[in-house]
Amino acid sequence: MSSSSSIDQPNVITCKAMVAWEAGKDLVMEEVEVSPPQPQEIRVKVICTSLCRTDITAWESQAIFPRIFGHEASGIVESVGEGVTEFVKGDHVLTVFTGECKTCKHCESKKSNMCQVLGLERRGVMHSDQGTRFSVKGKPVFHYCAVSSFSEYTVVHSGCAVKVSQQAPLEKICLLSCGVAAGLGAAWNVADISKGSIVVIFGLGTVGLAVAQGAKLRGASQIIGVDINPEKYEKAKCFGVTDFLNPNEYNEPIQQVIKRISGGGADYSFECIGNTGMVTTALQSCCDGWGLTVTLGVPKTNPEIASHYSAFLSGKTLKGSLFGGWKPKSDLPSLVNKYMNREIQVDEFITHNLPFEDINKAFTLMREGKCLRCVIHMPN
């Protein structure tokens, strides 16, 4: 029996959450019970959560239901579980979909951010005990990426949360818990873009535009953006895109156009769509010898990549990127500081702000290509 009094022990919280009951069907506002945090976990009052394309991909295609989606979020610690020393009630945090235990082989290596203990969780449960912390009328509700931020309260492992400055605006920096950080990291950590280089980006959503920003800040001389939505060009210019290509406007393969306007191919190409066929196109858009392609998108279908061996024989490289190579707990505070010092743009990615009850509208806006990031504001 614990020596702590029962008064000190967190209780079950009943709150509102947007629950997905079926693939592709509108989320439903439900009263959910949120269990107290277990050892090494924290319970977070979600302040803001932004909708990421990955949420939509999973909602449309995955079979684990009922489920609470959402992973790009900011909040305030409501209670802590046994053994948690890093956080206290009232701390401001970002949630992260991939954690950092700081003790496994990958966490101790400078070469990886793929934590072996708190890596990407795909089964809809908590890392620690393979259980859920949500229920509706006694029926378990599954998690998403061990975050589930489409709820007024959520429980996450303490290794999947990052303490941030209380001066940082939670309604803005929630974007740094996934999309914006992923794009910046792909440019800086994974590709390590050099000054004066030529960059091509396939897909000008939040991640692609964050790559463009990273390339611009590294001094790239030409940043080519490829997208079939012409309305994205004006916004793309704000993040550093110098040339805009719409494949639908050309009668030749877009990789040939890129090779022509770049004088032989880009030094770096980034696939930010989630289309494995585009990975092949991105590889073909790179120059021989040192051309590097980074793939960031999560494909809905056809997960296998096909490419002719000659691309690699000619010296090209294909690399994957998860969360831009950032170690979340070690690196995200510095990104927040860069935002606070106005060294990086974040606010400009936010095209819509909506109340929690309008979350289905956010899904519609993103599916129709009418938003970059829609920030969902929780009730006070």
Asked if residue 315 has pLDDT above 50, the reply is yes
Q: What is the pLDDT of residues 48-98, one digit of tens each?
A: 999 998 899 899 887 799 999 999 999 999 999 999 999 999 999 999 999
The whole-number pLDDT of residue 5 equals: 36
Q: How confident is the model at residue 206 (pLDDT cuts 50, 70, 90)?
A: very high
> Which of 156, 177, 160 has its CA nearest to residue 168?
177
Q: How confident is the model at residue 8 (pLDDT cuts 50, 70, 90)?
A: low
Q: How confident is the model at residue 297 (pLDDT cuts 50, 70, 90)?
A: confident
Asked if residues 43 and 78 have their Cβ atoms less than 8 Å apart, the reply is: yes
Asked if residues 352 and 371 have their Cβ atoms less than 8 Å apart, the reply is: yes
Q: Determine which of 173-177, 209-213, 303-307, 319-323 has the lowest per-residue pLDDT on average.
A: 303-307
The whole-number pLDDT of residue 21 equals: 96
Asked if residues 245 and 262 have their Cβ atoms less than 8 Å apart, the reply is: no
Mean pLDDT computed over 119-128: 92
Q: How confident is the model at residue 303 (pLDDT cuts 50, 70, 90)?
A: confident
Distance CA 347, CA 326 (A): 21
Query: Which two three-digit tokens encode residue 373?
Result: 């990031």
Distance CA 187, CA 305 (A): 22
In this prediction the pTM is 0.94
Whether cis (ω within 30° of 0) applies to the bond prior to 66 is: yes
The SS3 call for residue 337 is helix
The whole-number pLDDT of residue 7 equals: 46
> Which of 243, 214, 206, 250 has its CA nearest to residue 226?
243
Q: What is the pLDDT of residues 220-266, one digit of tens each?
A: 999 999 999 999 999 999 999 999 999 999 999 999 999 999 999 99
Q: Beta-carbon neighbour count of residue 222 at 10 Å?
A: 18
Asked if residue 167 has pLDDT above 90, the reply is yes
DSSP state of 191: S
Asked if residue 161 has pLDDT above 80, the reply is yes
Asked if residues 219 and 195 have their Cβ atoms less than 8 Å apart, the reply is: yes
Asked if residue 290 has pLDDT above 80, the reply is yes
Asked if residue 99 has pLDDT above 80, the reply is yes
Q: How confident is the model at residue 380 (pLDDT cuts 50, 70, 90)?
A: confident
Q: List Cα–Cα distances, 358 to 114, 177, 371, 374, in angstroms.
A: 34, 22, 15, 11
Percent of the chain scoring above 70 in pLDDT: 98
Q: What is the pLDDT of residues 214-232, one digit of tens each?
A: 999 999 999 999 999 999 9
Strand extents, DSSP E, 248-355: 268-271, 292-295, 317-320, 350-355
Domain 13-177+346-377 and domain 182-322 have a common topology: no
Asked if residue 296 has pLDDT above 50, the reply is yes
The whole-number pLDDT of residue 112 equals: 96
- Bridge-based pairing of strands 134-136 and 198-202 is unpaired
CATH 3.40.50.720 fits 182-322, yes or no: yes
Residue 44 CA, chain-centre distance (Å), reads: 19
* Architecture of the domain spanning 13-177+346-377: Alpha-Beta Complex (3.90)
- Residues 6 or more apart whose CB falls under 8 angstroms from that of 132 comprise 124, 125, 126, 140, 141, 142, 143
Q: Which residue has the tokens 């990031």?
A: 373
Mean pLDDT computed over 14-29: 96
List the domain boundaries for the chain: 13-177+346-377, 182-322
Mean pLDDT computed over 164-180: 97
The whole-number pLDDT of residue 61 equals: 82
The whole-number pLDDT of residue 52 equals: 92
Whether cis (ω within 30° of 0) applies to the bond prior to 303 is: no
- Bridge-based pairing of strands 292-295 and 268-271 is parallel
Looking at every residue in the chain, the average pLDDT score rounds to: 94
